[in-house]
Amino acid sequence: MPASVSVHLRQLEFGETRIPYHYGVGLEGGIPDLLRQGLGDADVLLFLVDGRLADTYQRLARQLRPAFEVSSVEFEPSEYAKNLNAVGDIMEQAVARGVTRKSVIVALGGGTIGNIAGMVAALLFRGIRLVHLPTTPVGAFDSVISLKQAVNLTAGKNLCGTFFAPTLVACDLDWLTTVPARLLRTSLVEMAKNVLTTSPGQERKFLAATELLTVDQARALESFLEIGISAKQPLLRADGKEKREALVFEYGHTVGHAIELASAGTVGHGEAVGWGMLVAAEISRARLDLSAEDLGTHTRLMGALGITRATRPAVDLAAVGELVAKDNKRGYIACGPDEVAMVLLRSVGEVACSEPGMPLVPVPVEVLDGALRTVLG
């Protein structure tokens, strides 16, 4: 690994599970060494690759041979490709190519690629090793800092999934700089979510990093990654499967996932969650007296990422409402037939709980509809 490369190592903790996360600017050339050290007894490495990253895959593959047999499955990631059919097709190809219990699935791409790869690794032979090489901000700063692996069903997003730990994670932060500027900013919404829900003390660091993006992307991206890890780790150590306290990280996702699907792919995950948080904040104002100051904090953080009233997406609000009713958090708490479970805030950094340790509350559908019209109408 070149001496000039600044490499960092953090241990992700999920209960008793420990996962090494290597990251740094210019790390790509050192990733084959990390894989050889961490996967020394593997026979086959099957890469699941975003089709736009074919050159990156080829560079890695050349360095990994002949230590491993290396092959790839390439596809264009989208919410509509993230389904059980894709998982099944990849598993069929994996077995045909000689993948065994000693093999490793390697995800090279963003959150969609990572989720599909996670499902393949979890199901094939009842579980083989998984490596995440995230290449987008959503993947690097949020998706891989979780054990959740899921794909979509016709009824909604992430309705079929499991929890599965990768063997290691490695990210060259230079990969993230290839994302278009607007998409890069909206992809950082998950970091704003962390500030709003669990880490209000990080707001100044977050805003400074957004300003730094135009001057020194490397330093800015390192700051965002630190925000992502430091915000999530305390809760994930205790709630690694995100079924109680760590559900707070679903803030904005109930509506956000619905916007993402209802937009037919025109609104990306980060932007959709940003609008979902603004809707959740409006509901929190109406139901829990969220202050005007805290509502303003939401607007300020979203504005720093380019999510403003001038950029409101054109989506069918009725379709959004129908998708919200099928959200994957149904069943965590008791809700009436005309209520949905949502993460809401009493104030920035203080989540509302229906019972101790359960950060979900029932929201009447009519209140949700009113907030959708206020924010997106």
Please report the DSSP string for 21-74 in residue order.
EEEEETGGGGHHHHHHHHSTT-SEEEEEEEGGGHHHHHHHHHHHTTTSEEEEEE
Beta bridge partners of 109: 134
Say how far apart CA 183 and CA 176 lie, in whole Å.
Answer: 11
- The H or E element that residue 167 is part of is none
pLDDT tens column, 10-39: 999 998 899 999 999 999 999 999 999 999
Return the CATH number of the domain spanning residue range 6-176: 3.40.50.1970
**What's the CA gap between 177 and 13, in Å, rounded?**
27
pLDDT at 63: 96
User: Model pTM?
Assistant: 0.90
Q: What is the pLDDT of residue 218?
A: 85
- Report which residue type is found at 103: S
The residues annotated as belonging to the active site are: 148, 250
**Does the N-terminal peptide bond of residue 20 adopt cis geometry, omega within 30 degrees of 0?**
no
pLDDT of the residue at 5? 61
Of 339, 153, 141, 327, nearest in space to 251 by CA = 327
The residue assigned the tokens 């083989």 is 128
The per-residue pLDDT for 2 is 47
The CATH 3.40.50.1970 portion of the chain extends over 6-176
Angle at 272 between CA 268 and CA 278, to 5 degrees: 155
Helices (H), the chain: 31-38, 54-64, 84-96, 111-123, 137-138, 173-176, 181-186, 189-197, 203-212, 217-238, 253-262, 269-288, 292-304, 317-324, 365-376
Look up the CATH architecture of domain 181-376.
Up-down Bundle (1.20)
Residues 6 or more apart whose Cβ sits within 8 Å of residue 9: 20, 21, 22
DSSP bridge partners of 17: 14
pLDDT per 10-residue tile (average), the chain, 377 residues: 68 93 95 94 96 96 95 89 95 96 97 96 98 94 92 90 97 92 90 96 95 91 91 93 94 96 90 97 97 97 94 93 89 93 97 95 96 95
Numbered ranges of CATH 1.20.1090.10 in the chain: 181-376
